[in-house]
Structure 1
Amino acid sequence: MEKIIQITAGRGPAECSWVVAQVLKRFLEETKSGGFKHSILHRETGSQNGTVQSVTIRLTGKNMEAFLATWLGTIQWIGVSTFRKYHKRKNWFIGAFELKQTQTTKVDERDISFQTMRSTGPGGQNVNKVNSAVRAIHTPTGVQVVAMDSRSQHQNKKLAIARLKEKVNEANIEKLKERITDQWENHLNIERGNPVRVFKGKDFKYKKENKSFKPKRQKLKNDLKQQKWD
């Protein structure tokens, strides 16, 4: 299973970008302890040192739903501004979202065609006399590369395959970046309320929210008892 997660400060100020950086650390720590693998696909730095405006992460592993359910949504930090000492605001909000997957291209070596040609450049007359250079073409996408590093055609073929796979992967990442750009609405839809996680203070301690209605029910009972006595 693979998921693409975006953690963003939206249009929030530098404080929110600072929160994204702190949340990213916690998120990756829990990702690792949960046995999931991750890779950073895109990171946009904030206006201040040590801040992150937005980051996109690829997660792979099994049974991620329960783990992500504790992260996806609004995340709140309660604390004094790191950059504006006398700023009155103490509640800062960022968002964590799952991005819809884009269709990526996987390179099957059966879809690669090869052309041989004479190498050019330094290497002596022997290089220019033999068709040692290799052009690899990925038929489904039309992506092509050339390898002429070695005098061995076999070695150049291996290099061409590796380079072709890398180039197709780069094209996949570019598609994903375009998708991230299309997800700009995530930056606009950060709700200030009902957070899935709340952190407090400069040491960024996790404050577990009590979602139970038991205290509220107990208060209502006490109020009713008080009304009877009155």
Structure 2
Amino acid sequence: MTVHLLLSAGRGPQECAWAVAGLVAHLESSAADPDSPRGESARLAATPIESARLAATPIESARLAATPIESARLAVTRVESVPGERLGTYRSVLLRIDGPGAAEFAAGWTGTLCWQAPSPYRKVGRKNWFVISQPVSLTVPRTHFAEDDVDFVPCRTGGPGGQHRNKASTAVRATHRPTGLTVVVDTERHLSQNRRLAVELLRDKIARGNEASAQAAVTARWQIHDDLVRGQPTRRIRS
């Protein structure tokens, strides 16, 4: 089983990006140790900043070629990240969790997470930093275009073009059966040419529809950044 989990600092201060790094490191540590109490908080062997520096990347908003953390049950891979203002911090990290029990493990890390630690950037101040964690789907529905799925019907259209165009059925109505998209083409004097143009129009419409679906999926994923509710966390991690 595979589950994708997005941890985001939302619109919080830079300490929240530091908290994302610490929580990701802790999640990876928990997944890598099958004997760890996954339902409880545990202390990291390294400090949050040390753990974050080990996981740092200079590539902003890019896919990471990170080696998955293998364990007896789960493997965690960093798929994508957006670095924070400070080295070793993250505004968001997208994780892929693989293996039996991945859904149950991810459920324990879903919701508002609280990283409890004094800020490394302030001498005094708050010690609770909140991060949103939500499962996301990377599957984007796509429509495959094949000319065999198109029905063509010759038809007549009015307008200028001469006696041949007005009397002969040179125009074509093309319908893509799976989607119901329909175009009518009458720009050429020959049926075969209008048919070819109709195919290209349908192909372009379906390609633009696929692009819109992909963009909508990205937009929906980014909306998670605004879903952070501070307080009443589902999980607390103390460093």
What is the TM-score with the length of structure 2 in the denominator?
0.49
Q: Is the 8 A contact 2:110 2:133 kept in 1?
A: yes
Give 2:127's match in structure 1, choosing from 85, 90, 97.
90
Tell me how far 1:52 sits from its aligned partner: 1.0
- Structure with higher helix content: 1
Structure 2 residue runs of 5 or longer lacking an equivalent are 35-72, 143-212
Equivalenced residues, count:
131
Tell me how far 1:78 sits from its aligned partner: 2.6
Give 1:73's match in structure 2, choosing from 94, 100, 111.
111
The residue number in structure 2 matching 1:12 is 12
Q: How does 1:1-230 map to 2 (within 5 A)?
A: 1-34=1-34, 35-86=73-124, 88-103=125-140, 179-200=217-238, 204=239
Structure 1 residue runs of 5 or longer lacking an equivalent are 106-174, 205-230
Q: Is the 8 A contact 1:102 1:176 kept in 2?
A: no
Give the 4+ runs in structure 1 shifted more than 4 A: 175-178
In structure 1, what is the Cα distance between the partners aligned to 2:229 and 2:99? 29
In structure 1, what is the Cα distance between the partners aligned to 2:20 and 2:92? 7
Q: Is the 8 A contact 2:5 2:134 kept in 1?
A: yes
TM-aligned CA distance change 1:71 to 1:4, over 3 Å: same
Tell me how far 1:193 sits from its aligned partner: 2.1
TM-aligned CA distance change 1:83 to 1:38, over 3 Å: same
In structure 2, what is the Cα distance between the partners aligned to 1:64 and 1:48? 31
Tell me how far 1:73 sits from its aligned partner: 0.7
User: 1:62-121 CA distances to partner (integer Å, 9 max, x unpaired)?
Assistant: 2223212221111112332221223x333210011100231489xxxxxxxxxxxxxxxx
Tell me how far 1:19 sits from its aligned partner: 0.6
Report the residue type matching 2:89 in the other structure.
Answer: T
TM-aligned CA distance change 1:85 to 1:31, over 3 Å: same
In structure 1, what is the Cα distance between the partners aligned to 2:214 and 2:80? 9
Report the residue type matching 1:12 in the other structure.
Answer: G
In structure 1, what is the Cα distance between the partners aligned to 2:220 and 2:78? 18
TM-aligned CA distance change 1:6 to 1:79, over 3 Å: same
Q: Is the 8 A contact 1:9 1:54 kept in 2?
A: yes
Q: Percent identity between the aligned chains?
A: 31
RMSD, matched Cα: 2.3
Q: Is the 8 A contact 1:77 1:93 kept in 2?
A: yes
What is the TM-score with the length of structure 1 in the denominator?
0.51
Which secondary structure state, in structure 2, belongs to the residue aligned with residue 54 of structure 1?
strand
In structure 1, what is the Cα distance between the partners aligned to 2:74 and 2:214? 21
Report the residue type matching 2:14 in the other structure.
Answer: A
TM-aligned CA distance change 1:5 to 1:79, over 3 Å: same
Q: Is the 8 A contact 1:19 1:77 kept in 2?
A: yes
Q: Is the 8 A contact 2:4 2:96 kept in 1?
A: yes
Q: Is the 8 A contact 1:10 1:187 kept in 2?
A: yes
Which secondary structure state, in structure 1, belongs to the residue aligned with residue 20 of structure 2?
helix
Which secondary structure state, in structure 2, belongs to the residue aligned with residue 183 of structure 1?
helix
User: 1:160-219 CA distances to partner (integer Å, 9 max, x unpaired)?
Assistant: xxxxxxxxxxxxxxx98973443122111111122122123xxx1xxxxxxxxxxxxxxx
Tell me how far 1:44 sits from its aligned partner: 0.9
In structure 2, what is the Cα distance between the partners aligned to 1:59 and 1:68? 8
